[in-house]
A and B are shown apart, each in its own frame.
Chain A
Amino acid sequence: MSEDRYTLNKQLAQMLKGGVIMDVTTPEQARIAQEAGACAVMALERIPADIRAAGGVSRMSDPKMIKGIQEAVSIPVMAKCRIGHFVEAQILEAIEIDYIDESEVLSPADDVYHIDKKQFQVPFVCGAKDLGEALRRINEGAAMIRTKGEPGTGDVVQAVRHMRRMNSEIAKISSMREDELYEEAKQLAVPYELVAYVHEKKRLPVVNFAAGGVATPADAALMMQLGAEGVFVGSGIFKSGNPQKRAAAIVQAVTNYQDNKLLAELSEDLGEAMVGINEQEIELLMAERGL
């Protein structure tokens, strides 16, 4: 990927800021998501909660199903490939996907190497639970970062933990002496240049969204107040009682995340939220995949 292409890919993520990216499994859901105000959709065969319930190996979705979703909506369409599975990524690039999520939600295909994302023209978003992971993914060519959270649980605790950890690490690097940055780069196992960027700009070099466990307008506003630039909502919408209303409420909550009165109104009468499972109750920690 040329420098220019990488810049354009980071810039697409800038256009998604302040928005909500929703998991959808059918063209019909994609249309509902777009109508509700999603700024992009993530096309996948099963939402994380169902992947978790079904067990077994989960893979990239059928390209035909993804194409159906591309035809159904005019907003950007993203899709997931397995960590390290560069051929799934090649296939997604061949159908002109707008963003590839190299995702821990699917079963990892490689337990050592991530995809060399610089070999692709299309952009990648990757999950991270701390600054080191984020900068390693960016070094491999990711044009956007999201917290890993814990997908398919409806429990926001891990997304909060990951966002806070990233922010406190950024704050720490920002306040370091310049001669300390070399050792910090070594500790994080990332190139010095990326650490120097964080030191100077006090932020990641790419857009950073929250993901994993967001289920309510309050969850979304919480992540925005903690510094997320936008929100992914996976199982939280189509596992709830009234997906349309909940989706629209989450979109508004992300725009006006500091207006408590509006957040109160948005939280009313949303029907049943996804039941969710607590992090202590789950056996499979997806966030531990791909470090």
Chain B
Amino acid sequence: MGKGKKIAVLAVQGAFAEQIERIRTLGAECVALRQKADLMQDFDGVILPGGESTVQGKLLVELEMLELLRDKIRNGLPVLGTCAGLILLAGEIGNDQHVWLGTLPVRVRRNAYGRQLGSFHVEEAFQGIGTVPMTFIRAPYVEEVSQDVEVLARVADKIVAVRYGNQLGTAFHPELDTDNRIHEMFLTMCG
């Protein structure tokens, strides 16, 4: 599946090890992005993992990685953002002043399901794939999308997965479940 592809995983904070392991399982080469110098190499796609978006966003700014990464995504680099990663991509955060990468024209709501007691696991339909397991940890959902954004999944009427050209975002964590299909879909996007 991933053979011959080189995928970068943002590794400033959060569950990046899980993403790296998944990508390697699928046969792709994987590199961790911890600082600016790591962004100077070529890769076929980038994954923004779960974690705390405030921490990741702040580190992207302090480590001078934010603009470089934004340019790469704007120039067509395929990106998968899960949970905090989706928040980093979002053009607007309903309940937060920050905009981080801002490349994905959606409005998200952080901690949309409340505190940890609101975290949950379901299996729901994902467009083009079928029913997939979805783990939501203090998760966001998408409140609004611009008209050219494709909605890929909903849970209880709330949008939880979207695609906009080279950008794929999920409010849940495909890396925490054993199903590979969302990562495979992303690898297909990576040429």
- Report A's interface with B, CB cutoff 8 A: 4, 7-9, 11-12, 14-19, 34-35, 37-40, 70, 74-76, 96-99, 121-123, 248, 251-252, 254-256, 259, 262
- If A11-B176, A18-B51, A75-B54 touch, whether A96 touches B135 (CB-CB below 8 Å) is no
The complex places the Cα of A74 from the Cα of B59 at a distance, in Å, of 17
Interface residue B166 (Cβ < 8 Å from any Cβ of A): no
Q: Across the interface, which residues of B come within 8 angstroms of A255, CB to CB? A: 11-13, 34, 59, 63
Q: How many A-B residue pairs have CB under 8 A?
A: 111
Interface residue B173 (Cβ < 8 Å from any Cβ of A): yes
1-40 of chain B: CB within 8 A of chain A: 11-18, 34-35
B55 x A37 contact (CB < 8 A): yes
B96 x A39 contact (CB < 8 A): no
B54 x A37 contact (CB < 8 A): yes
B115 x A18 contact (CB < 8 A): no
The complex places the Cα of A259 from the Cα of B11 at a distance, in Å, of 14
B14, B35, B116, B121 — most chain A CB neighbours (10 Å): B116
Q: Is the interface of B mostly helix, strand, loop or mixed?
A: loop
Q: Across the interface, which residues of B come within 8 angstroms of A37, CB to CB? A: 54-55, 58-59
- For A121, the closest partner residue in chain B by CB is B117
Q: Across the interface, which residues of A come within 8 angstroms of B16, CB to CB? A: 17-18
A76 x B138 contact (CB < 8 A): yes
The one of B35, B96, B114 in contact with A262, judged by C-beta atoms closer than 8 angstroms, is B35
The one of B17, B63, B114, B115 in contact with A17, judged by C-beta atoms closer than 8 angstroms, is B17
The complex places the Cα of A183 from the Cα of B110 at a distance, in Å, of 48
The complex places the Cα of A9 from the Cα of B59 at a distance, in Å, of 25
72-119 of chain B: CB within 8 A of chain A: 83-84, 95-96, 110-111, 114-117, 119
- For A96, the closest partner residue in chain B by CB is B115
The complex places the Cα of A8 from the Cα of B137 at a distance, in Å, of 7
The complex places the Cα of A219 from the Cα of B45 at a distance, in Å, of 34
Interface residue B174 (Cβ < 8 Å from any Cβ of A): no
Besides A9-B116, A17-B16, 7 new A-B residue pairs in contact (Cβ under 8 A), listed by A number: A8-B135, A12-B138, A16-B14, A39-B14, A39-B51, A98-B115, A252-B62
The complex places the Cα of A70 from the Cα of B16 at a distance, in Å, of 26
- If A18-B13, A18-B14 touch, whether A252 touches B59 (CB-CB below 8 Å) is yes
